[in-house]
């Protein structure tokens, strides 16, 4: 169903299509376990992901055959484990770049969702394999709502719903992989992408309500720190949160 993209150096040049699977991330991790030398940029993609995983243990809702659900195997051994959020920024910006070329009002919601307006259209789950002080490999799972028109949650949308016409999934995949690879090559070249990431950050500079444990409070997102913690300005000063510690409400 899916063709190898013509305009990438390595991303998607090995492409494994599975009509159905539980999770492309699980399949990619399995491929790495069977052969740690599997080619960087290998893409595992399915038309029907039955148990797609998101952050916080959430599942990813995707109508079979309507969207893109795939995983990319990367080998960012040039990154120190403490800098792994830089990979998150690079992939997020690749997704942002593609969508920003297609539709308006695109933002990156920390740490790994892409929003069209106030609705989610894309989610990402990166699973890193680390040994000691070395980042051996990364599996980047991506779910992009492309042609789906109806969703269980009103907070979700798709590119086609926003644009008003359907898209060719193979063409979207090829273009998307180009944008992601371009940002990954910047990461390899040690380009600092933090300013681009902050420019695209959802709700940055706006007063929002948050929950942390049993605490509900008002704050303003002002940025991220060097390891990717969310920086929030509160009445009594700045605080930093990881994914499990804070939720926007």
Supply the CATH number for residue 113's domain: 3.30.930.10
Q: Into how many domains does the chain fold?
A: 2
User: What pLDDT was estimated at residue 51?
Assistant: 80
Does residue 10 lie within any of the structural domains?
no
Same domain, 129 and 173: yes
Residue 139 near residue 32 (C-beta atoms within 8 A): yes
**Full pLDDT tens readout for the chain, 249 residues:** 799 998 999 999 999 999 999 999 999 999 999 999 999 999 999 999 988 765 555 566 789 999 999 999 999 999 999 999 999 999 999 999 999 999 999 999 999 999 999 999 999 999 999 999 999 999 999 999 999 999 998 999 999 999 999 999 999 999 999 999 999 999 999 999 999 999 999 999 999 999 999 999 999 999 999 999 999 999 999 999 998 899 999
pLDDT tens-digit map of 52-74: 765 555 566 789 999 999 999 99
Query: What is the C-alpha separation between 171 and 159, in angstroms, rounded?
Result: 13
Q: Is residue 179 part of a domain?
A: yes
Which pLDDT score is estimated for 62?
A: 84
Domain membership of residue 230 as a residue range: 207-248
Please check whether residues 22 and 141 belong to one and the same domain: yes
pTM of the model: 0.95
Final residue in a domain of this structure, among 165, 182, 199: 199
The pLDDT value recorded for residue 142 is 97
- CA–CA separation, 140 and 94 (whole Å): 12
Structure tokens given for 241: 């949160």
Asked whether residue 37 is assigned to any structural domain, the reply reads yes
Q: Give the pLDDT confidence score for residue 151 in this predicted structure.
A: 93
Same domain, yes or no: 228 and 193: no
Residues 150 and 212 in one domain: no
Reported in sequence order, the residue ranges of the chain that DSSP labels E, i.e. its strands, are 15-21, 43-49, 68-74, 106-109, 113-116, 119-131, 134-144, 207-212, 215-224, 230-234, 237-241, 247-248
**Those residues with Cβ within 8 angstroms of residue 35's Cβ, 6 or more apart along the chain or in another chain:** none
Residues 243 and 168 in one domain: no
- CATH number for position 211: 2.30.30
User: pLDDT tens digits for 161-193?
Assistant: 999 999 999 999 999 999 999 999 999 999 999
Question: What is the rounded CA–CA span in Å between residue 215 and residue 211?
Answer: 6
Q: Are residues 82 and 112 in the same domain?
A: yes
Instruction: Specify whether 35 is located in the same domain as 117.
Output: yes
For residue 64, being part of any structural domain is answered with yes
Q: Is residue 2 part of a domain?
A: no
pLDDT score of 1: 77
Please indicate, yes or no, whether residues 238 and 179 belong to a single structural domain of this protein.
no
107, two tokens: 């933002």
Same domain for 38 and 136?
Answer: yes
Strand ranges across the sheet with 237-241: 237-241, 230-234, 215-224, 207-212, 247-248
């Amino acid at each position: 169903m899916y063709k190898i993209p013509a305009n990438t150096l390595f991303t998607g040049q090995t492409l494994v299509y599975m009509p159905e699977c539980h999770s492309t991330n699980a399949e990619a991790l399995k491929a790495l376990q069977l052969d740690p030398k599997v080619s960087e940029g290998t893409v595992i993609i399915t038309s029907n992901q039955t148990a797609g995983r998101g952050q916080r243990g959430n599942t990813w809702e995707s109508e079979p055959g309507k969207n893109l659900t795939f995983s990319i195997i990367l080998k960012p051994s040039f990154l120190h484990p403490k800098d792994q959020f830089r990979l998150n920024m690079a992939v997020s910006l690749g997704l942002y770049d593609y969508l920003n070329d297609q539709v308006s009002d695109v933002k990156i919601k920390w740490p790994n969702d892409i929003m069209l307006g106030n609705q989610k259209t894309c989610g990402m789950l990166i699973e890193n394999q680390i040994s000691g002080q070395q980042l051996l490999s990364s599996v980047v799972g991506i779910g992009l709502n492309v042609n789906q028109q109806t969703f269980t949650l009103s907070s979700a949308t798709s590119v086609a719903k926003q644009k008003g016409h359907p898209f060719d999934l193979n063409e979207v995949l090829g273009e998307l992989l180009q944008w992601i690879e371009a940002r990954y090559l910047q990461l390899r070249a040690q380009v600092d992408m933090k300013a681009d990431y902050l420019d695209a950050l959802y709700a940055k500079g706006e007063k929002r309500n948050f929950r942390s444990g049993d605490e509900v409070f008002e704050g303003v997102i002002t940025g991220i720190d060097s390891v990717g913690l969310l920086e929030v300005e509160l009445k009594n000063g700045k605080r930093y949160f990881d994914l499990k510690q804070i939720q926007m409400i």
